[in-house]
């Protein structure tokens, strides 16, 4: 009898014991070791599985990896911290790496953001921002309870974050559990009926809604420039700046959710820099630790912090056991420093141009409605009929099929419905990036023309 390999045992145990996120159960159980390969190792921008196959990490391990895997500087920082202490609490105690990282965040964040509150995932960074906004108004003696958000928006999967979410397929079933949120249309020309003229129309709607209900809204929350999980929906120029202007004029807080867009994804360190926007609260996650360890942060203005600390018992009763974890913050410090010492920000425009040029080859493809790109965030929108913009039957799982096919060309990524997502690590070198792009173009062509290898 052939000896069972350890990887086979693990794959079998995975099917028996684990429950994978955002994964249709039956398809998962019926699918052998596809769609999930057992990743056992990584090298730079490549992931290696238990069969020894190597893949370019085309989606930054779910949009978090910044500099590649096994980066010597980040590995060394974690090891050095490991030699001291892995974790101590920030509840009433301080810890060096969290301070070092906090200092850097305040220095480089948009102006006015002066305080860093740590948590451990993008969703918790959003929960913290929502609760801070709510209690801020309470502490100021002007209680409010509504939030405003965008259709197709995504802010994580905890109940507060879901309450401000706008993706029906993710969020609809939970509506009875959620607090009320006013959803404004997304200004992405692909989904808005007015197309390229969406920005002024949506801004006008926001203006009217806030003017009609003064003193009702705690905050508006937006993903700046790109609604990632909604399908890489890019916003027209001026939308974010317009939202800032309107919220400020109506004295409503602006929460910018940079969990996906932060850390060099849109050509700048933070996406809101592209429109010179300074929010009242900013949520960070994913790339904050270089994509190494779970770490998130909510940055707040001095004015918000002061509303919790200007006398009386105005404590913000929120915290997590692993808040400000020392290993994660040490990774964050090393990643932050590497962004600047490597000159990463200066390398981005050449990469963005390469992406636009290569994926421009799909411009006339009959099943590609459009390629949406902002910086290094990309969505290739697949459709049944390009002229009529008719979508594929979701049951066909076309986006998933294309991504599965791309594995044969050495690319790992994950679709959003029928949007093929590419979100390579910002530090990916041009040669690897070119390989990723060519393989993606080939995979899409082959999938549809029947020459699937």
User: What are the b/e assignments for 134-147, b being 16+ CB within 10 Å?
Assistant: bbbbebeeeebebb
CB of 122 or CB of 242, closer to ligand PLP: 122
Residue 67 engages ligand PLP in binding (rule: CB under 6 A):
no
Of 148, 181, 150, the residue nearest 252 (C-alpha): 148
- Binding of ligand PLP by 154 (CB under 6 A): yes
> Closest approach of Cβ 184 to ligand PLP, in Å?
16
Is 183 or 213 the residue whose CB approaches ligand PLP more closely?
183
CB of 229 to ligand PLP, least distance (A): 5
What is the C-alpha separation between 211 and 196, in angstroms, rounded? 25
By CB atoms closer than 10 A (0-12, 13-18, 19+), residue 240 is buried
When asked if residue 232 is in the footprint of ligand PLP (CB under 6 A), the reply is no
Exposure string over 2-39, b if 16+ CB within 10 A, otherwise e = eeeeebeeebeeeeeeeeeeeeeeeebeeeebebbbee
Is 327 a binding residue for ligand PLP by CB under 6 A? The answer is: no
CA 84-85-88 angle, to 5 degrees, is 150
Nearest to ligand PLP of 228, 332 (CB atom): 228
What's the closest the beta carbon of residue 128 comes to ligand PLP, in angstroms? 12
The two tokens of residue 161 are 């974050």
- Coil, strand or helix: which one is 146? strand
Is residue 206 part of the contact set for ligand PLP (CB under 6 A)? no
As given in the structure block, the two tokens for residue 4 are 């069972």
> What's the CA gap between 232 and 164, in Å, rounded?
18
155 binds ligand PLP (CB under 6 A): yes
Record the tokens describing residue 417, joined without a space: 């419905």
Which residue lies nearer to ligand PLP by CB, 420 or 444? Answer: 420
Minimum CB distance to ligand PLP, residue 120 (Å): 8
Choice from 57, 127, 223, 435 touching ligand PLP (CB under 6 A):
223
CB 221 within 8 A of CB 252: no
State how far the Cα of 293 lies from the Cα of 298, in Å rounded to an integer.
17
State the binding string over 246-285 for ligand PLP (x if CB under 6 A, else -).
-----------x-xx------------------------x
Can you read off the two tokens belonging to residue 402? 């294309």
Instruction: Report how many residues bind ligand PLP under the rule CB under 6 A.
Output: 14
Give whichever of 374 and 409 is closer to ligand PLP, judged by the CB atom: 374
- Letters for 95-134 (x = contact with ligand PLP by CB under 6 A, - = none) are --------------------------xxx--x--------
156 binds ligand PLP (CB under 6 A): yes
Supply the minimum distance, in Å, between the C-beta of residue 386 and ligand PLP.
28
- Residue 229 is a binding residue for ligand PLP (CB under 6 A): yes
Residues forming contacts to ligand PLP in the complex (CB under 6 A) are 121-123, 126, 154-156, 223, 228-229, 257, 259-260, 285
């Amino acid at each position: 009898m052939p000896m069972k390999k350890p990887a086979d045992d693990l794959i079998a145990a995975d099917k028996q014991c684990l429950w994978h996120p955002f994964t249709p159960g039956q398809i998962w159980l019926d699918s052998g070791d596809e769609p999930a390969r057992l990743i056992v190792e990584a090298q730079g921008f490549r992931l290696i599985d238990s069969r020894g196959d190597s893949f370019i990490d085309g989606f930054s391990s779910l949009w978090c990896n910044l500099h590649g895997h096994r980066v010597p500087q980040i590995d060394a920082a974690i090891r050095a911290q490991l030699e001291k202490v892995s974790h101590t609490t920030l509840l009433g105690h301080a810890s060096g790496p969290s301070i070092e990282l906090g200092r850097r965040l305040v220095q480089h964040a948009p102006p006015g953001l002066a305080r860093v509150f740590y948590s451990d995932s993008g969703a918790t960074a959003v929960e913290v921002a929502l609760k801070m906004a709510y209690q801020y108004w309470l502490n100021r003696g002007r209680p409010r309870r509504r939030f405003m958000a965008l259709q197709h928006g995504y802010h994580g999967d905890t109940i507060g974050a879901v309450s401000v979410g706008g993706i029906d397929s993710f969020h609809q079933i939970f509506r009875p559990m959620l607090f009320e949120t006013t959803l404004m249309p997304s200004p992405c020309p692909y989904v808005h009926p007015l197309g390229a003229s969406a920005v002024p129309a949506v801004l006008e709607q926001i203006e009217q809604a806030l003017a009609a209900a003064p003193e009702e809204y705690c905050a508006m929350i937006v993903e700046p420039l790109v609604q990632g999980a909604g399908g890489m929906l890019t916003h027209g120029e001026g939308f974010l700046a317009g939202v800032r202007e309107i919220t400020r004029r109506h004295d409503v807080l602006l929460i910018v959710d940079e969990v996906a867009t932060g850390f060099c994804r849109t050509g700048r360190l933070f996406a809101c820099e592209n429109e010179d926007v300074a929010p009242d609260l900013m949520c960070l996650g994913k790339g904050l630790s270089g994509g190494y360890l779970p770490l998130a942060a909510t940055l707040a203005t001095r004015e918000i912090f002061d509303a919790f600390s200007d006398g009386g018992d105005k404590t913000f009763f929120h915290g997590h056991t692993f808040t400000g974890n020392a290993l994660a913050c040490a990774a964050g410090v090393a990643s932050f420093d590497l962004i600047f010492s490597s000159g990463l920000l200066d390398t981005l425009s050449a990469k963005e141009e390469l992406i636009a040029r290569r994926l421009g080859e799909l411009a006339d493809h009959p099943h590609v409605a459009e390629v949406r790109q902002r910086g290094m965030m990309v969505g290739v929108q697949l459709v049944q009929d390009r002229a009529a913009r008719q979508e594929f039957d979701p049951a066909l799982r076309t986006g998933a099929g294309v991504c599965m096919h791309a594995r044969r060309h050495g690319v790992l990524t994950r679709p959003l419905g029928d949007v093929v997502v590419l979100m390579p690590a910002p530090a990916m070198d041009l040669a690897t990036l070119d390989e990723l792009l060519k393989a993606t173009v080939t995979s899409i062509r082959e999938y549809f023309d029947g020459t699937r290898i």
